[in-house]
Every structure is written in structure tokens, then in C-alpha cells.
Amino acid sequence: MVGRAEMMTLDLFTVFLLAFACVPLSWAVPKEYVFDVVAIWTVLCLFALSPATAVWLILIAISLPYVLSSGAKAKGLVAAATITALVLGLIWSRFAPGWAWIGGAFFTLRAIHLVVEWWMGRHPAPKLRESLHYFLFLPVLAAGPINRLPHFQHQLRRRRWDPDKFMTGAERVLLGLVFLYIIASRVGTRLDPEVAQMVAGLGPFWRIWSASAVSWVELFFVFAGATHLALGIALMMGLKLEENFDRPWAARNLIEFWTRWHMSLTRWVQDYVFRPLTALTQQPIFALVAAMLVIGLWHEFSAYYVMWSFWQALGIVVSRLLVQREIGAKVPTRLMTVLGPLGVLAWLSAARPVIGLLLGDIS
């Protein structure tokens, strides 16, 4: 699932332990040089953990300001060429044998965000120092969120010592550790085998469906835990970055779910894929399928994720029809708060066995 394989390529604990060192650095260094030092620390850590990531990310951070600032006379061509190069780089990183990558999917979308905002005239080409600060910020590299440059710069300008903010950040770090290393671990080591034992007598379709449901729950605690760590560390540094989750398992339908789950990704896709394609084609269903394809292939370049994208798009269309026709409107609210999330989890987790049948992996 989402970035999980990429996130687990390297030990997340090591990445976040190194990222936590940014906290004392950020308050020990003179204010005007704080994020220069953080960028240098990020580069040193990346070269130690993944030299390929370090080289690629430095290349992006240095080249983008120059390419964009010098391409004002041919914005469309420059934007198209730059985005193509970024996407090809991401594809290459996914298939390069023996290379460990840290957050390639995340910093690629950050870079495309900059290119599109520049092309649309909503944001000027970043200066070199701004670009280095933005891309070389270790807390968000491994697991997001996909923070945006204007918000990041706004937080840098407003940054000041705030003990309440610092303690809130520390609490989020602790919560992230609990999510990631206690709850997610328990789900994977205890709940998974217990559920597998409960459905052992059923057919392969139902066993895979059950395992998929457990995987979604485990994924939430892994990814939400990593997000709490990233945002908590940033908050301890004086920066309040974009949230990534908003109680997704409280969603009563798939439309609500995808506005609550990995919000920085879904907002990115909404702004840079769904809305432009809807305006261009006047076909929102086509734009929806394209948006879900981007999300699916962002996770993994495979036939499975192409089909996964269509499955999730179908679920959103069905949810929209149910909402428009007020089907379920008479269900008591308290009952809907239980049935809705269960229905969402059932649809999400059904993707694996359904696609397995279509691909011939399940007999």
C-alpha cells in the first residue's frame, strides 16, 4: 500500500532519530542560519543512509530555481520538460536494483507542485536558499506530509519559541511512537494471525479479504504514526505543517474517507490533476479516474495498482450516487456511524481479492 514499501526500505526509527536531532539544532543556531544548518544536517544524513537520494534531491533543489527563473519565455515547454524529467526520475528510482531510496515519491510531488505553481503564475521561481530549505528538511522526507512551499515559508517567517507548541510537538512525537511501534506492531503480530485463524476454514477470496482489512488498519497506524513523528518534530522546531489524517475511520462513505486519508496527497491530486482535467474536459468521472490512477501509480508502478485505481474510483462514484439519492438517509445516525466506516473498510479491503480474481491469482 501507500508508500509502505518505500517507507520500510530503511528503518524509520533511524530516519526519525536523525530528524529529531534537528530540534536542538534549530534552537542552538542563530535564527538567520537555522535552516541552513538543518539542510546541511539533512544532506549529511542522506549521504550516510542513501547516497542516491542525497544526490537526486540536491540536484532537484539546486536546479529547479535556475531552470524556472531562466525559463520565463517558454513556461509551458519548461514546465512540461521539467515534470517529465521528475516523473522519469521517480520511475527509475522504483526499478533501480539495489538502491535504497528515502521519500522519492514525496519530494517528487513537492517539486512538481513548485513547477505547476510557477507555470500558473501563482508563485515565483524559488530562490536557491528557499529551495534548499524546502527540499532539505529531514523530518518530512521519509513519510510526508507533502507540504507546500508557500505554507512552509509562512511558517519560517512566523517561527518563534513557544513552550506550548514545543510540548504539543513532544506529545505528538510520543503518540507517533505509540502508533508506529506499539499499536501497528500489535496489529501485525497479534491481530493478523488471530483473524487468519478465524477465517481459516473459508475460501481464499474471504481469507485474502480479511487479511487485506487487517492490512489497512495496520497501515493507518504505521503511516499516521510516522506522520505524528514528522509533524511533532517540526512543531518542536517551531513549524506547524499541514496535517495528513483527520480520523479517516470515522468516514461514513468513500468520499469522506478520501478527504480524510493522506490529505496532503489527495489535495495535491485534487489541485493538480482532478480540477484541471475537469475544467479541460468537462468530464468529472474521467478526471476522477485519472486522479486515482495518479494515486495508485504513485504507490507502485504495476498492473495491480492500475486496477486498484479503477476500483477506488468506482467506489467514489457509487458513494456519490448513494449520497445524491439519499439512500441510507433514514438510517439512525448512531447506527450509520458504525455501518459507514465498516462499509468503507469493506470496500477498500475488497480491492485485493477482487483484483486477485481478475488477474487469475485466486482460483
Instruction: Name the residue ranges covered by the structural domains of the chain.
Output: 4-157, 246-363
C-alpha cell at 132: 534548499
pLDDT band at 360 (very low <50, low <70, confident <90, very high): confident
Query: How many residues does the structure list for the chain?
Result: 363
Residue 60: closest CA among 138, 99, 115: 115
Check: CB of residue 26 under 8 Å from CB of residue 238.
yes
Residue 119: closest CA among 55, 68, 63, 57: 68
Runs of H (alpha helix) within the chain: 4-7, 12-20, 22-28, 34-49, 51-69, 75-95, 104-119, 128-135, 149-158, 163-178, 184-186, 192-198, 204-236, 254-260, 263-269, 275-281, 284-299, 303-324, 333-358
pLDDT band at 208 (very low <50, low <70, confident <90, very high): very high
Asked if residue 100 has pLDDT above 80, the reply is no
Cα distances (Å, whole numbers) of residue 140 to 33, 184, 233, 270: 20, 20, 9, 21
Asked if residue 173 has pLDDT above 50, the reply is yes
pTM over 0.85: yes
Asked if residue 229 has pLDDT above 50, the reply is yes
Half-sphere exposure of 298 (CA within 13 A, CB side): 24
Q: Is the bond preceding 145 in cis, omega lying within 30 degrees of 0?
A: yes
Asked if residue 228 has pLDDT above 50, the reply is yes
pLDDT at 134: 98
Check: CB of residue 68 under 8 Å from CB of residue 77.
no
Residues 17-44: tens digit of each pLDDT? 999 999 999 999 999 999 999 999 999 9
pLDDT at 363: 63
pLDDT band at 8 (very low <50, low <70, confident <90, very high): very low
Per the prediction, the chain carries an average pLDDT of 91
Cα distances (Å, whole numbers) of residue 302 to 95, 118, 142, 305, 307: 11, 31, 22, 5, 9
Interatomic CA distance for residues 85 and 103, integer angstroms: 17
